[in-house]
Amino acid sequence: MSEEAIERVTVLGAGTMGHGIAQICAVAGYEVVMRDVAQAALDKGIAGITKSLDKFVSKERLSADQRASALSRIKTTESLEDAVRDADLVVEAIPERMSLKLETFRAVDAHAPAHALLATNTSSLSVTEIAGATGRPAQVVGLHFFNPVPIMKLLEIVRGLRCDDATIERAKAFASSVGKEPIVVNDWPGFATSRLGIILGCEAIRMVEQGVASPADIDKAMELGYRHPMGPLKLTDLVGLDVRLAIMEHLYAELGDQFRPPTLLRQMVRAGKLGRKSGEGFYTY
Ligand SMILES: NC(=O)c1ccc[n+]([C@@H]2O[C@H](COP(=O)([O-])OP(=O)(O)OC[C@H]3O[C@@H](n4cnc5c(N)ncnc54)[C@H](O)[C@@H]3O)[C@@H](O)[C@H]2O)c1
């Protein structure tokens, strides 16, 4: 039964990640249901999808027909029960709070078909713990997409302790079907991506603190010396200093001292310097 083909995908959350995931699934031909807790969030998600699809059409990477049929494949609802009732795959992209994820997975498990795969887009929380909220932990997997979802090629597949091989194979096939390049990582705090990305950001902030070089020169070091498309401090400004601090706190608690958040970062967050979204971080916008 767990081998059943995926035709219908339900995305929980219509925010930054959720609407992007809904979009790529619809473009790939899946029937999509997007669920959020408020109609306004669903409307905003659909507006985001429409704007992004328009951009693809104007760049001739999608035809007007493909745009229209992708949009026609996306339904929205505020009801969790309606959203997951016929799903073959549920992808959760709700806020990064364990209590909220556990409550949601309990409800999804109760209403989704027995064959359905359940996935979480968490960037740092334990997939094993989330899977434990369901009666089907072997069919629960991390599908960690990157922002902006329609552009970024990577899909980090996270294997929880009780996840089975069939689930990983289905996840890999799904990744290819939506045009993503998968990597498979065992469930360990920070997986492969967040763990390395955070340590680089953390060390760059310590270097600013120690007066080693200016933020612009530290970023240039990585961009020109190591071919990173964006230096670690620019990236921290983009993601949000508060968001990065929260992930560092989590990894510090789980993995130890190398992730201890620099005092400078704490001070900047206290001062409301959150990066691009507040107009100031390591740079001024
Ligand atoms: N933003 C990123 O760059 C990024 C990258 C990778 C992974 N993630 C992960 O993706 C997840 C979502 O992040 P985001 O940035 O899209 O958040 P977001 O705040 O932009 O969107 C979350 C959405 O979920 C909705 N929501 C809240 N409770 C809900 C529920 N019970 N059911 C359905 N919807 C609900 C909110 O109304 C909101 O629209 C988090 O786990 C985050 O760690 C984020």
Domain ranges for the chain: 8-186, 193-276
**Average pLDDT taken over every residue of the chain:** 96
DSSP string, 77-91: ES-HHHHHTT-SEEE
**CATH architecture, range 8-186:** 3-Layer(aba) Sandwich (3.40)
Q: Are 10 and 35 in contact (CB under 8 A)?
A: yes
Give the chain's end-to-end CA distance (angstroms, integer).
53
Query: Which of 36, 153, 238, 247, when mutated, tests ligand 1's pocket best, judged by the most ligand atoms within 8 Å of its CB?
Result: 36
Would the CB of 271 count as within 6 Å of ligand 1? Answer: no
Query: Does residue 268 have its Cβ closer than 6 Å to ligand 1?
Result: no
**What whole-number distance in Å separates Cα of residue 138 and Cα of residue 117?**
9
Compute φ and ψ for 157, nearest 5 degrees: -90, 125
For ligand 1, whether the C-beta of 122 sits within 6 Å is yes
124-160 pLDDT per residue, tens: 899 999 999 999 999 999 999 998 999 999 999 999 9
Nearest to 6 by CA among 167, 217, 224: 167
- Ligand 1: residue of 17, 122, 129 to mutate (most ligand atoms within 8 A of CB) is 17
SS3 content of the chain, % helix, strand, coil (to 5): 50, 15, 35
Q: How confident is the model at residue 82 (pLDDT cuts 50, 70, 90)?
A: very high
Cβ(93) to ligand 1 under 6 A?
A: yes
CA dihedral for 229, 93, 265, 269, sign (positive or negative): positive
Q: How far is the CA of 16 from the centre of ligand 1 (A)?
A: 7
Residue 2 has pLDDT above 50, yes or no: no
CA distances from 32 to 22, 26, 139, 220 (A): 6, 6, 20, 42
Q: Which ligand 1 atom lies nearest to the CA of residue 104?
A: 31
Please report the atom of ligand 1 found closest to the CA of residue 12: 33
Write the class of the CATH domain 193-276: mainly alpha
Domain 8-186 and domain 193-276, same fold? Reply is: no
Give the residue, by CA position, lying nearest to ligand 1 atom 9.
122
Q: How far is CA 281 from CA 189, 236, 238, in A?
A: 26, 8, 9
- Of ligand 1's listed atoms, the one at least distance from the Cα of 17 is 16
Give the residue among 26, 161, 162, 4 at the shortest CA–CA distance from 91: 26
Q: Do the strands 89-92 and 181-186 form a parallel or antiparallel pair, or are they unpaired?
A: unpaired
Percentage of the residues of the chain whose pLDDT score is greater than 90: 95
104 lines ligand 1 (CB under 6 A): yes
Task: Give the pTM.
Answer: 0.93
Mean pLDDT over 80-91 rounds to: 98
State residue 1's pLDDT score: 44
